[in-house]
Amino acid sequence: MNLTDSCPRCCRRGITPTTSRTRGNRIVHGYRCPCGHQWATARDLTAYSELHARRAQRPNRKAA
Ligand SMILES: [Zn+2]
């Protein structure tokens, strides 16, 4: 499992998460770059696809 991320500010790679938090089916990792920038990345635990920032809203629910 590769949990490292790239800094969106200085593009440094391989930043390891400093915090991790599970919320429902997602895990949110907090990162802190040596440049001082901090951010969080949410990942879907079910599909384990990386969800960076925005994601198009999908109508997952069917009106029953
Ligand atoms: Zn940085």
CA 32 to ligand 1 centroid distance, Å = 8
For the chain, helix (H) and strand (E) counts, in that order, are 0, 4
Q: What is the mean pLDDT of residues 48-62?
A: 54
Per DSSP, the three-state class of 41 is: strand
Tell me: pLDDT of 39 over 60. yes
Closest CA to 5 of 57, 26, 37, 59: 37
% of the chain with per-residue pLDDT over 70: 69
Query: Which residue's entry shows tokens 């391989």?
Result: 14
Q: What is the mean pLDDT of residues 46-58?
A: 54
Q: Contact, 15 vs 31, CB < 8 A?
A: yes
Residues 6+ apart with CB under 8 A from 48: none
pLDDT of residue 53: 46
Q: What is the mean pLDDT of residues 15-42?
A: 95
CA 50 to ligand 1 centroid distance, Å = 19
pLDDT of residue 23: 86
pTM: 0.66
CA 11 to ligand 1 centroid distance, Å = 6
